[in-house]
Amino acid sequence: MPAFAQLAKEVGGPEAEGAKESIPQEPRQRLAELGGTEKSGGGVGSSSSSSSTPKGGATSDKTAKPGSAGDWIGGAEKKEPPKVASAGAGKDAQTGKGGGTTAKPGGDGGWIGSDTPAETKTKNVRPAVVDKSVAGQKRQVVDAEATPVDVKDVVGAVWTKDGKAAVFLQRDGLLRRVRVPELVEERQANIDSPCTSLAMSKEGVVAGVNGLQEVWLFDEATLELKRRVTVGSLGRVASGPATNLAIANTGDGSVSVINLTTGQTMGQVSPREVSEQRGAAPRVPMGFGMFAMTPDGKYLLTEGMGCIHRLRVEGKRLIWEENGPSIGSNPQSLVVSPDGRYVCLPSGGGNGNVPGEGPMPYTTFVYAVGDLQKRVMVIRGGAYPHTLGFDVAARQLYSQNHDTQLIVFSPTGLKGKEYKIREAGDVHLILAHPAGKKVLIVGGPVYWIELP
| Same-domain pairing of 366 and 261 | yes
| Same-domain pairing of 263 and 355 | yes
| Same-domain pairing of 157 and 47 | no
Q: What is the CATH number of the domain that holds 275?
A: 2.130.10.10
**Closest Cα partner for 245 from 257, 235, 230?**
257
Q: Which residues contact 368 (CB under 8 A, 6 or more apart)?
A: 341, 342, 343, 374, 376
Element (H, E) at 81: none
Region for 391 from its dihedrals, namely left if φ exceeds 0, alpha if ψ lies in -120 to 50, beta otherwise? beta
pLDDT for 116 equals 47
For residue 367, what pLDDT band results from cuts at 50, 70 and 90? very high
Is 58 a residue whose pLDDT tops 70? no
pLDDT for 353 equals 78
Spatial contact of 312 and 299, defined as CB atoms under 8 Å apart: yes
Q: Which residues contact 243 (CB under 8 A, 6 or more apart)?
A: 201, 202, 293, 295, 296, 297, 298
pLDDT for 123 equals 62
Is 75 a residue whose pLDDT tops 50? no
Is 179 a residue whose pLDDT tops 50? yes
| Same-domain pairing of 265 and 162 | yes
| Same-domain pairing of 176 and 260 | yes
Overall residue count recorded for the chain in this entry = 452
Determine the average pLDDT of the residues in 185-212: 98
Query: Looking at the domain assignment, is residue 37 inside a domain?
Result: yes
The amino acid occupying position 333 is S
Helix axes 3-10, 25-33, angle to 10 degrees: 130
Query: Looking at the domain assignment, is residue 297 inside a domain?
Result: yes
Is 441 a residue whose pLDDT tops 80? yes
Share of the chain above pLDDT 90, in %: 66
What is the secondary structure of 96-162 as a DSSP string? -----PBPPTT-SS--TT-SS-GGGTT-----EEEEEE-B---EEETTEEEEEE---SEEEEEE-TT
Distance between CA atoms of residues 313 and 93, nearest Å: 58
Query: Looking at the domain assignment, is residue 95 inside a domain?
Result: no
Is 42 a residue whose pLDDT tops 50? no
Query: Looking at the domain assignment, is residue 274 inside a domain?
Result: yes
| Same-domain pairing of 142 and 277 | yes
Spatial contact of 345 and 286, defined as CB atoms under 8 Å apart: no
pLDDT for 154 equals 97
The amino acid occupying position 256 is S
Query: Looking at the domain assignment, is residue 223 inside a domain?
Result: yes
pLDDT for 106 equals 55
Distance between CA atoms of residues 70 and 48, nearest Å: 25
The amino acid occupying position 62 is K
For residue 401, what pLDDT band results from cuts at 50, 70 and 90? very high
Question: Residue 430 is part of which domain span?
Answer: 130-450
Is 4 a residue whose pLDDT tops 50? no
Please give the model's pTM, rounded to 2 decimal places: 0.74
| Same-domain pairing of 304 and 189 | yes
- Looking at 258-310, list the stretches that DSSP marks H as alpha helix, in order from N- to C-terminal side: 271-276
Query: Looking at the domain assignment, is residue 200 inside a domain?
Result: yes
What's the whole-number average pLDDT of the chain? 82
**Closest Cα partner for 365 from 435, 294, 306?**
306
Determine the average pLDDT of the residues in 345-373: 91
| Same-domain pairing of 307 and 440 | yes
Q: What share of the chain is helix, strand, coil (3-state, %, to 5)?
A: 10, 35, 55
pLDDT for 378 equals 96
| Same-domain pairing of 224 and 328 | yes
Query: Looking at the domain assignment, is residue 361 inside a domain?
Result: yes
Determine the average pLDDT of the residues in 247-257: 96
Q: What is the pLDDT of residues 295-345, one digit of tens each?
A: 999 999 999 999 999 999 999 999 999 999 999 989 999 999 999 999 999
| Same-domain pairing of 182 and 314 | yes
For residue 109, what pLDDT band results from cuts at 50, 70 and 90? low
Is 50 a residue whose pLDDT tops 90? no
Domain boundary among 62, 81, 103: 62
More confident residue, 105 or 269: 269
Distance between CA atoms of residues 432 and 329, nearest Å: 26
More confident residue, 118 or 26: 26
| Same-domain pairing of 148 and 294 | yes
Query: Looking at the domain assignment, is residue 97 inside a domain?
Result: no
More confident residue, 285 or 193: 193
Is 22 a residue whose pLDDT tops 50? no
Is 88 a residue whose pLDDT tops 90? no
Counting the structural domains of the chain, the total is: 2
| Same-domain pairing of 288 and 370 | yes
Q: What is the pLDDT of residues 264-281, one digit of tens each?
A: 999 999 999 998 888 766
| CA distances from residue 418 to 55, 63, 240, 407, 452 in whole angstroms, order as listed | 103, 96, 30, 4, 13
